[in-house]
């Protein structure tokens, strides 16, 4: 399977299920396992509800349980490709959450720098 090689090293993952199809919610468990099993897996995961313009067959609470259990970031976003509802918001949230999970603020100069660095790249202060 090629998918794990695409996931390894990714900064974020968009996980989507169809609110009209319960099987798609259950399939999330398999996708989460694939993503979690690869080396250097994405730290940022966003949960997306698709086809929210149609009749819902999956309760919001069921999605919330998965969201909480697997430490998704941000919030569950309801989207509709048909109407365009929240499609742009998904990518904005992904970007914000990736930055939040990838950067830290230097206590000395107050600038943001990558978490993996042992010293602030701006002022040279050692990280805590």
Answer yes or no: pTM beyond 0.85: no
Please give the pLDDT value at position 9: 82
Q: For the segment 66-108, what is each residue's pLDDT rounded down to a tens digit?
A: 999 999 999 999 999 999 999 999 999 999 999 998 888 999 9
| Average pLDDT estimate for 46-68 | 97
Q: Are 97 and 74 in contact (CB under 8 A)?
A: yes
Annotation: CATH topology of 3-102 = Rossmann fold (3.40.50)
Q: Are 107 and 115 in contact (CB under 8 A)?
A: no
Please give the pLDDT value at position 59: 96
HSE of 45, CA atoms in CB hemisphere, 13 A:
21
Domain ranges of the chain: 3-102
Residues 6+ apart with CB under 8 A from 37: 4
**Angle between helices 22-37 and 60-69 in degrees, nearest 10:** 10
């Amino acid at each position: 399977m090629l998918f794990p090689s695409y996931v390894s090293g990714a900064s974020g993952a968009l996980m989507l299920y169809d609110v009209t199809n319960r099987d798609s919610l259950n399939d999330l468990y398999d996708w989460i396992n694939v993503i979690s099993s690869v080396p250097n897996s994405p730290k940022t995961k966003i949960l997306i509800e698709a086809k929210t313009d149609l009749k819902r067959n999956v309760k919001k609470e069921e999605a919330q349980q998965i969201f909480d259990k697997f430490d998704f970031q941000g919030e569950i976003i309801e989207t509709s490709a048909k109407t365009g509802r929240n499609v742009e918001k998904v990518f904005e949230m992904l970007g914000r959450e990736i930055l939040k999970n990838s950067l830290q603020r230097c206590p000395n100069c107050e600038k943001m720098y990558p978490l993996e660095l042992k010293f602030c790249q701006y002022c040279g202060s050692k990280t805590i």
